[in-house]
Structure 1
Amino acid sequence: MDDGAPRNDQHPASGAPAPRSGKERRRWSRQPSGQQHDIPPPPPALTPLIFSTEAFPAGDQFAAWQGLNAPLVDLTLPDGVTAQDGFAARQVAWNLGGMLVVQQKASAHSYHRSAAKLRSSLVDHWVIIFRREGKAWTEVGGRVAESQPGTVEIRSLAHAFRGRMLDSQSLTLYLPRDLFADSSAMLDANNNRILSRNLAGLLISYVDSLEARLSEFSKDDLPGVVNATRDMILACMASTEEWAAVATKHGTVAAMERARRFIRNNLQTTTITPELLCRELGISRTHLYQLFEPSGGVVHYIQKQRLLAAHAALSDPSDRRLIAEIAESFGFASAADFSRAFSREFGYSPRQARSAPAPSRVMKEGTLDADGLPSFERWLRALGS
């Protein structure tokens, strides 16, 4: 029924259809929603590096596993087990740029990161191990920590350690020390500590979620993932008053960490002096000397770091420089001065360090990079740089 009232689409006076404004926008799109051109998601950024001993004859399997782990630890078989028995192991590594995520399953063995290993490999990352199957016992500085399924291990590659593990499955995070530069005291206070119960549960839930999405992350996602992982680790370690109190006692560690990082980044210059360090760190000479007193003094520490870096270069089969060139690159005035200091520090000459036999590297074709180094080792060296 028409009641005579003008409709919304009629002119109020004449009842004729009201003209549409040229500026009037349509309320609904002409294009059906199913045909809209959505922006495609960015492509996944990560390609895993997969290593398995199944590709080798039984007698070569343990040697292959030793070669893969040579930058980190020396491995031995349990008593009564020989290499000819075979060694089942598999590793899948993901490189997020500022963090490595490593899924691993391996047969029982013992491991040792010795003082010699520390010298030949300057890798000093933090390692967070989420054990899912099996048990492990690790000794650092006389203290043994036992891990089992459902626990989380915290360990520094800057310190020597030894241990053994049963047939195990785990997920391991490798994180560079510089990622924790402002919180190094907290981690140092918890080296070789085992998290369990609620603290471990929080981290495990987070890492399980991260692991499930590794094949989906885009390049833009990666920095946020690394930072979120760092924050989650620190939040769990700072959750008890006991640990916070321990870290507080190490208040000087943060300043020492900044000094260590500056020295490491400038080893190939000849201008590192106590005066320069004081300016860079914003501390007094007295404070600087107090920081380095346990290390034998600041000058001794700088020279030792130069020698350690030179030792790593001499032990690197891909570094083909002459010994004199390596000595000069790390700030030594002459090859003779370098040789004397090197021999005094390590008990053998630079030439002996270079000619020392390299660890067995039975590696499958395709796992070596252009320099002849295993790709996983290259990832470890470049982590955080």
Structure 2
Amino acid sequence: MTIDGLGGGSRSRDLIPLLHFSTDDLPQEERYRAWYLRDWPRAEPIYRTEPIEPFDTRWVSAQLGPVMFARVEITAMRWERRLADVRNSDFDPIIVSMMKAGEAHGDFDGRALRETPGTFHFHDLARRSLHVSTGSLTYNLVLPRELAINRFGPIGDLHGLVVPEKEARLAFALAEQVSDMLTDMDADQAESLGRMFVETLAVALAAVRPRTRSPVSAELALRRRAVERIDQRLGVRDDPAIEDLCRTLGTTRRKLFAAFHGDGGVRAYILTQRLERSRQALADLDRVEAIATIAHRLGFADAAHLSRAFRNHYGMTPSQYRQLLRADREMLPPEG
């Protein structure tokens, strides 16, 4: 690990100190351990991680006032932060992960995460999470919790919130420019750039958070009626036919598809709801319903079908999700 921008008595400019880490010069068998035991941003590991392919990474980071900025290239990985990890740590910032290249999916304390290139998500380190990422290039921001609360308001809805590509463009433009400038950036620019990042995130959040007292459009009204009808049939083996939905709701296929455009389509919405009900059933550790029974009850062909779909959506199998919840439950103090 090396630091640039320090010393250099003959230099007339005071450059922002940069912290570098790279596995390029390490033997393959030593790379993961060297990265896992590094002291950024803390001396102790923040996540439980598991490489999915031969490990390699390159990091560069800088402190921009109260905000830490990092450019990260890393191979495919499984990332987990359990309830026990949260309780045993005093490190609880809000991390913003901006996916320049690659994808990530998983479960953020009950919220499904799916991040694609050009989008970014918020990660509250005071809450549990499990996600899987492909080989990726990301820009990462580490925001002190107090700063996030002061600027964004209540942050209970941020954990796992993905900001879509359109609303994320301004933040990406700033991140890419800062990344290009890092090696030649004056230290007196750091504070203002950190503030710019916070304000840019605030603009993106304002665009994606639900607005209060907004008028209900005809499209939204149609979606609500369709959702009610779909929910009534989620326990039925066959998905509601599009033609039946259109006939029941008195609408056209075009209008119905437009109402679910943000969900990836009607079928994608139905699958997501089946998976969410499956997740809720798996989370009932007192009942412990068989996975095959859950699959049959919620319209999957069999347990294997549910397992494949669940893993694609949440980044883990139903059995792994149950094991995660059991491990967290064992850390809870006894009642009374």
* Structure 1 segment 1-385 matched on structure 2, within 5 A: 43-68=13-38, 70-78=44-52, 86-240=54-208, 242=210
SS in 1 for 2:155: helix
SS at 2:123 equivalent: strand
CA-based RMSD of the aligned residues comes to 2.8
Contact 1:150/1:196, CA 8 A, preserved across alignment: yes
Secondary structure of 1:91's counterpart equals strand
How far did 1:66 drift? 2.0
Residues 146 and 64 of structure 1: CA distance in aligned 2, closer, same or farther (over 3 Å)? same
Q: Distance in 2 between matches of 1:241 and 1:166?
A: 28
Q: Deviations over 1:24-61 (max 9, x none)?
A: xxxxxxxxxxxxxxxxx972431221111223221121
5+ residue gaps in structure 1? 1-40, 247-344, 348-385
**SS of the counterpart of 1:158?**
coil
Partners of 1:44 and 1:216 within 8 A in 2: no
Q: More strand per residue: 1 or 2?
A: 2
1:235-267: per-residue Cα shift (whole Å, max 9, x none)?
110124615679xxxxxxxxxxxxxxxxxxxxx
Shift of the 245–227 alpha-carbon distance from structure 1 to 2, 3 Å rule, reads farther
Calculate percent identity across the aligned residue pairs: 19
Structure 1 residues 217 and 167, CA, compared in 2 at 3 Å: closer, same or farther?
A: same
- Residue 346 of structure 1 deviates from its aligned partner by 7.4
Aligned to 2:244: none
Question: Stretches of 4+ moved more than 3 A in 1?
Answer: 183-187, 243-246
Residue 164 of structure 1 and its aligned partner are, at CA, apart by 0.6
Instruction: Report if aligned partners of 2:86, 2:128 keep a CA contact under 8 Å in 1.
Output: yes
Deviation for aligned residue 1:211:
2.2
Q: Residue type of the partner of 2:24?
A: E
> How far apart are the structure 2 equivalents of 1:44 and 1:149?
34
The TM-score normalised by the length of structure 2 is 0.55
- Give the letter aligned to residue 210 of structure 1: V
- Give the Cα separation in 2 of the matches to 1:74 and 1:245: 42
Give CA-to-partner distance per residue, 1:181-236, whole Å, 9 cap, x none. Answer: 32454533232111113211121112222222223333332222211211111111
**Aligned positions, number:** 205
- SS where residue 55 of structure 1 aligns? coil
CA contact (8 A) 2:18 2:61 kept: yes
SS in 1 for 2:131: strand
Q: Which has the higher contact order (CA 8 A, sep 6+)?
A: 1
Q: For residue 164 of structure 1, what is the amino acid of its counterpart?
A: V
Q: Structure 2: which 5+ residue stretches go unaligned?
A: 1-10, 215-330
Between Structure 1 and Structure 2, whose CA radius of gyration is higher? 1
Give the Å deviation of 1:162: 0.8
Distance in 1 separating the partners of 2:186 and 2:117: 31
Alignment correspondent of 2:231: none
Paired residue secondary structure (1:213): helix
What secondary structure sits across from 1:239 in the alignment? helix
Q: Deviation of residue 137 (structure 1)?
A: 0.8
Structure 2 letter corresponding to 1:77: P
Aligned residue identity for 1:75: T
Matches of 2:135 and 2:23, distance apart in 1 = 15
Which moved further from structure 2: 185-194 or 89-98? Answer: 185-194
Specify whether residues 96 and 107 from structure 1 end up closer, same or farther in structure 2 by C-alpha distance, changes over 3 A only: same
Q: Cα gap change, 1:190/1:218 in structure 2, threshold over 3 Å: closer, same or farther?
A: same
